[in-house]
Amino acid sequence: MTRHARPIGDLTWSPDGRSIAYTALFDPENPDETEPPEGTAPPVRVTRRIDYKQDNRGYLGDARTQVWVVDAASGERRMLTREPVDHNYPQWSPDGTRLAVQVPNRNGMHSQLGIVTVATGATELIGPESGVVGLWSWSPSGDRIVFAGEPERTWQLDWFVLEVATGAVRRLTDDLQCLPDAGFPTLVPPSQPVWLDDGRVLFHAIQAGASGLYVLDVETGDVELLHAWEAIHTGFSVDSTTRWVVQAHTSLAAAGEISAFDLQDRTGQIITAINEAVFSEAPPAGWERLEVRRDPLTIEAWLLKPSGFDPTKRYPVVLDIHGGPNGYYGHRFVPLQQCLATNGVLLVFANPRGSSSYGRHFTQQVTGDWGGEDFHDLMAVVDAVLERPYADPDRTGVLGYSYGGYMTAWTIGQTDRFKAAICGAPVFDFESFYGTSDIGHVFGPLQWGGTPREVEEWCAARSPSTFAHRVRTPTLIIHGEADDRCPIGQGEEMFVALTQAGCEVEFARNPGGSHLFLAAGPPAHREDVLTRARAWFKDRLGEPS
């Protein structure tokens, strides 16, 4: 039907079945998508925009995803959007005259809703530039669009409804206690909501690290929980009768399966057993949930135990810290956690203050306090686990990736209680991160309260680099060499600082690896991380005794 030099994505049929809207990368410097002659030197890259690169995509310049429409019969295509910003996930209006798209800015740290007229390509932007739009859906009559967003970046979405004719926006919720699933940029698409009728919308959200199906009343803003799982789901497909909801399913006991939920009977089931044979040979870790009270907050955590767990033995304990800082852990099968826990380690992970899926107030508690109360939350969780007779307080480890890498680097600069550490893609120095990360110039001030110059004393007091000279914990640093989010320079700085401090340190660099290589990189590199991490802790913490 048609082709592009770069990948085609976000395909969606028009209501009359005659056209397909899709997205593809368009480079105004190379509109014909021609390849340079063999042997030609790469062109010099010159930019005047601060968002010239993005993790998992690399150098972009002015190239951005644009919306196209192709006639299904003739193959004739038109490029609808042309502004040099991304246009993602087009959705047709019921009458087929318009498309609703997400229009990110500042490397996806902010975004707006775009209403594109199919006949002309004219685009109307909804919402402030400093806000976020994560999910959206046309009403059956096409007169309204419900969307999940936030006027200012707080890492907690709420529901709004747009009156298309007037452009008026009405807020429906304030401080949802669940997090509507907007996916993850460049990796996982949003779980777009579905109208059940002209007044109710079905959506998928995460609460306290677990998936649920919810119904939003578009008139009152009331939210009803239909069903909750001890699992994390992705994707959101509803059949034409709006009876069946199908999603991908992962939990602490399963991975890579498909779940189906019957909206009529309100019953759910896992309808595949793709990995049953694998888990029958290599059972996943057992688990339990625990709570730690740090007034006025309650911190939720989970403890993974080896299969064949023997409470009369003493086990090494490893703390795993999630990224974000506004990410979350919960009922998800995480290969690295399972690899360690099924090889003789008690693996504990938690959602300290700042984690999402608990509402805006809880999520905002880390803003301006990296390495503060969030650090004490995590240490309190470790202390709670070490009260158990089978947890060995003399053999503890810590690991984390991204913000978890920051927190790992911070932790080993504050305490010698851990006997081994694995630090993945850390934020090690705030000032250099601000100037080299694809999002540092936006993300940093939002998280820290200002630029490194504006909050200079705070940045110096909270950067792990300030305390690296006193680190004595044997540390493995793992980093992707093509990481634009927490650039490889952060790992390099940490490696040099720990080496100069006389600390045992090893640096594993993954060629071509983006910040997301643990999820989307070559299988051989991901396997290497599992093998290397298991050996690092085993050699330094030992076996159950």
Under DSSP, the state recorded for 281 is H
Residues facing 88 on adjacent strands: 102
Q: What is the mean pLDDT of the chain?
A: 96
Environment class of residue 276 by beta-carbon count within 10 Å: exposed (0-12), middle (13-18) or buried (19+)?
A: exposed
What digits encode the pLDDT tens for the residues 492-523?
Answer: 999 999 999 999 999 999 999 999 999 999 99
With bands split at pLDDT 50, 70 and 90, how would you rate the model's confidence at 34? very high
CB atoms within 10 A of CB 507: 18
Q: Is the pLDDT of residue 469 over 90?
A: yes
**CATH number of the domain at 282-541, out of 3.30.70.270, 1.10.10.10, 3.40.50.300, 3.40.50.1820?**
3.40.50.1820
Q: Is 309 helix (H, G, I), strand (E, B) or coil?
A: coil
What was the pLDDT predicted at 76? 97
What was the pLDDT predicted at 307? 83
Which residue spans within 284-329 are E strands per DSSP?
Answer: 286-294, 297-305, 315-321
- Whole-model pTM: value is 0.95
Identical fold between 8-180 and 282-541 = no
- Residues with Cβ within 8 Å of 61's Cβ and at least 6 positions away in sequence, in order, are 27, 29, 45, 47, 52
State the alpha helices, DSSP H only, in 324-394.
Answer: 335-341, 360-363, 373-386
What was the pLDDT predicted at 167? 94
Q: Which has the closest alpha carbon to 341: 362, 365, 320?
A: 320
Q: What is the mean pLDDT of residues 110-135?
A: 96
What was the pLDDT predicted at 132? 96
CB atoms within 10 A of CB 328: 24
Under DSSP, the state recorded for 347 is E
Q: Which has the closest alpha carbon to 411: 289, 419, 336, 532?
A: 419
What digits encode the pLDDT tens for the residues 384-394?
Answer: 999 999 999 99
What would the CATH number be for the domain defined by 8-180? 2.130.10.10
Q: Is the pLDDT of residue 395 over 90?
A: yes
How distant is the alpha carbon of residue 42 from its chain centre? 33
DSSP string across 139-207: -TTSSEEEEEEESS--S--EEEEEETTTTEEEE--SS-SSEE---BTTTB-----EESSSSEEEEEEEE
What was the pLDDT predicted at 205? 98
What digits encode the pLDDT tens for the residues 408-459?
Answer: 999 999 999 999 999 999 999 999 999 999 999 999 999 999 999 999 999 9
What was the pLDDT predicted at 359? 96
Q: Is the pLDDT of residue 291 over 90?
A: yes
Q: Which has the closest alpha carbon to 202: 258, 135, 267?
A: 135
Q: Is the pLDDT of residue 381 over 90?
A: yes
Is the distance from CB of 417 to CB of 394 less than 8 angstroms?
Answer: no
Q: What is the mean pLDDT of residues 111-130?
A: 96
Cα separation of 297 and 275, whole Å?
Answer: 38
What digits encode the pLDDT tens for the residues 308-365?
Answer: 899 999 999 999 999 999 999 999 999 999 999 999 999 999 999 999 999 999 999 9
Cα separation of 225 and 544, whole Å?
Answer: 42
DSSP string across 400-418: EETHHHHHHHHHHHH----
| Domains of the chain by residue range | 8-180, 282-541
Q: Using omega within 30 degrees of 0 as the cis cutoff, is the peptide bond preceding 445 cis?
A: no
